């Protein structure tokens, strides 16, 4: 059987599936049940000075029949006393010594505050620490969470303060509410982070009630922005993980978070450079038992690919992720319609006609039957028709043999610049060329 064990900056785990710091990891009771169910690790609900939470705090976007396509919350960090959490962490680690227990921390950006909490939490026996620089609401208004996580200098300084006191590996959890995620990832590395994790939630307002005109959710008629997560944020999270993974200055391991609900999602994050994954919304939606499918799916996939361990997957797609300027402008695909499977719903024709390049034709054969055909010479290979087609496999995007050598925008500009330099030379200079 394939080896599912992972190692994130020295933090070992029986499998790559951790519960993210959130409601599922709020108490010892929950984390212990999660470990019994099979989760490899858990990041405890963020510890700090306990807060008071609002009543009414979650909302979800249900999209076209899919419940919880996106999830929104205005919950803050733990509302339980630190001593209670530490006692339960101690008991949980004692009962499950081989499972991974990481404590998430958030305190004011002051050196002594970081030293104090790190020491107290490590005394409870955790395997590592995760610094929460990501929570976008409530705590941010008090100068913590994403308020400090959006400032690279504060990320660097606080990471360094935590590291001064820490004996266990320090993971820095990043906020996605920033233009360039690598700016704060690099700051965490400069501060001495052993690993980074991303993403925390994205600033959001789930909706407005059309009858009451209240925000969704609202607290007695008033709302505030929350944090968005769940399946809808997966592409954003995956991109941010990939951007960090391919950046030479972000050379620490990555824990991937954001919209992961299936083993396939997890594999995508691993391929893009994550050493493990963390999950919140999918566990809140379906319960701890989803970990069985995650483990089975990943195990079968590794066997199918004839790979011995999860490590053989990590980062395998990083080199396939680049800048737009490096893409081959001479590569071409075209759409081909399989008339045997096409049900002639006409969706592809409308899409191409109204919003793409008007190259799907409705033709009539000798027997008088209509069919659709792509005029390949005008097809730009945008994929839109295949995306809107409701029949799997009715439209295939086919690679055309390239008539020209690969040429990216960057190569093209470099070649043009060279030509320009040559044309600026005098005739005498050109003789030697």
Ligand X SMILES: Cc1cc2nc3c(=O)[nH]c(=O)nc-3n(C[C@H](O)[C@H](O)[C@H](O)COP(=O)(O)O)c2cc1C
Residue 188 Cα distances to 152, 172, 272, angstroms:
8, 7, 20
Measured CA to CA, the distance from residue 50 to residue 29 in angstroms comes to 19
Residue 45 Cα distances to 112, 123, 276, angstroms:
22, 17, 18
Binding test (CB under 6 A) with ligand SF4, winner from 219, 224, 318, 380: 380
Of 107 and 379, the one with the shorter C-beta distance to ligand X is 107
Of 157 and 266, the one with the shorter C-beta distance to ligand X is 266
Residue 191 Cα distances to 138, 151, 238, angstroms:
25, 13, 24
Strands 207-208 and 170-173: unpaired
Q: Can residue 336 be called a binding residue for ligand SF4 (CB under 6 A)? A: no
135 is catalytic: yes
Which helix (H) or strand (E) is 257 found in, with range? strand 254-257
Measured CA to CA, the distance from residue 291 to residue 288 in angstroms comes to 6
Applying CB under 6 A, what is the total number of residues that bind ligand SF4?
28
Q: Can residue 23 be called a binding residue for ligand X (CB under 6 A)? A: yes
Q: Contacts with ligand X in 256-275 (CB under 6 A)?
A: 257-260
Of 183 and 345, the one with the shorter C-beta distance to ligand SF4 is 345
DSSP SS3 for 129: strand
| Segment contacting ligand SF4 by CB under 6 A, of 175-183, 215-223, 302-310, 385-393 | 385-393
Measured CA to CA, the distance from residue 203 to residue 358 in angstroms comes to 38
Q: Can residue 347 be called a binding residue for ligand SF4 (CB under 6 A)? A: yes
Phi and psi, residue 325, nearest 5°: -65, -10
Strands 58-63 and 66-73: antiparallel
For residues 196 to 235, the per-residue mask of contacts with ligand X, x marking binding by CB under 6 A and - elsewhere, is ----xx---------------------------xx--x--
Nearest-CA neighbor of 20 among 43, 41, 1? 43
Strands 66-73 and 100-105: unpaired
Copy the structure tokens of residue 20.
């993210």
Q: Contacts with ligand SF4 in 387-426 (CB under 6 A)?
A: 389, 391, 394-395
Residue 152 contacts residue 123 (beta carbons within 8 Å): no
Binding test (CB under 6 A) with ligand SF4, winner from 59, 148, 385, 408: 385
Of 160 and 342, the one with the shorter C-beta distance to ligand SF4 is 342
Binding test (CB under 6 A) with ligand SF4, winner from 247, 356, 410, 411: 356
Q: Contacts with ligand X in 295-334 (CB under 6 A)?
A: none
Q: Rounded to the nearest whole angstrom, what is the least distance from the CB of residue 139 to ligand X in the complex?
A: 9
Asked if the bond preceding 209 is cis, omega within 30° of 0, the reply is no
Of 260 and 389, the one with the shorter C-beta distance to ligand X is 260
Asked if the bond preceding 199 is cis, omega within 30° of 0, the reply is yes
Q: Can residue 363 be called a binding residue for ligand SF4 (CB under 6 A)? A: no
Of 61 and 337, the one with the shorter C-beta distance to ligand SF4 is 337
Q: Which residues contact ligand X by CB under 6 A?
A: 20-23, 45-46, 71, 73, 75, 77, 104, 132, 134-135, 173, 200-201, 229-230, 233, 257-260, 279-282
Residues labelled as active-site residues: 135
Residues that bind ligand SF4 in the complex, under the rule CB under 6 A = 335, 337, 342-348, 351-352, 356-357, 359-360, 372, 374, 379-385, 389, 391, 394-395
């Amino acid at each position: 059987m394939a080896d599912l064990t992972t190692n994130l900056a020295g933090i070992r785990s029986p499998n790559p599936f951790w519960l993210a710091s959130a409601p599922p990891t709020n108490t010892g009771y929950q984390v212990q049940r999660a470990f019994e169910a099979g989760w490899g690790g858990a990041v405890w609900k963020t510890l700090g000075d306990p807060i008071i939470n609002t009543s009414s705090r979650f909302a979800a976007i249900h999209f076209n029949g899919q419940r919880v396509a996106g999830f929104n919350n205005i919950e803050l960090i733990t509302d339980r006393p630190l001593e209670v959490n530490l006692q339960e962490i101690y008991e949980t680690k004692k009962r499950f010594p081989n499972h991974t227990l990481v404590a998430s921390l958030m305190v004011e950006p002051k050196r002594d505050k970081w030293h104090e909490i790190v020491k107290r939490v490590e005394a409870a026996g955790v395997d590592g620490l995760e610094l929460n620089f990501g929570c976008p609401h409530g705590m941010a208004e008090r100068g913590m969470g994403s308020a400090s996580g959006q400032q690279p200098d504060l990320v660097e300084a606080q990471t360094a303060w935590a590291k001064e006191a820490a004996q266990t590996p320090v993971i820095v959890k990043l906020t996605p509410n920033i233009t360039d995620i690598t700016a704060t990832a690099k700051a965490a590395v400069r501060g001495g982070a052993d690993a980074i994790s991303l993403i925390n939630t994205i600033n959001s307002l789930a909706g407005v009630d059309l009858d009451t005109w209240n925000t969704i959710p609202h607290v007695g008629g008033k709302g505030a922005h929350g944090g968005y997560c769940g399946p809808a944020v997966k592409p954003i999270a995956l991109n941010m993980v990939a951007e960090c993974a391919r950046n030479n200055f972000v050379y620490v391991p990555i824990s991937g978070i954001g919209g992961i609900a299936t083993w396939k999602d997890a594999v995508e994050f691993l391929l893009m450079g994550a050493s493990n994954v963390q999950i919140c919304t999918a566990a809140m939606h379906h319960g701890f038992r989803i970990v069985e499918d995650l483990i089975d799916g990943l195990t079968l996939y590794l066997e199918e690919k004839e790979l011995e361990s999860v490590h053989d997957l990590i980062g395998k797609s990083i080199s396939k992720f680049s800048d737009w300027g490096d893409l081959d402008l001479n590569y071409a695909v075209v759409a081909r319609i399989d008339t045997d499977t096409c049900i002639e719903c006409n969706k592809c024709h409308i899409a191409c006609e109204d919003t793409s390049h008007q190259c799907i034709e409705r033709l009539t054969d000798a027997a008088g039957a209509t069919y659709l055909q792509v005029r390949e010479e005008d097809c730009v290979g945008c994929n839109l028709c295949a995306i809107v087609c409701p029949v799997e496999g009715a439209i295939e995007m086919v690679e055309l043999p390239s008539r020209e050598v690969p040429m990216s925008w960057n190569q093209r500009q470099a070649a043009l610049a060279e030509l320009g330099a040559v044309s600026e030379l005098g005739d005498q200079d050109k003789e030697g060329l």
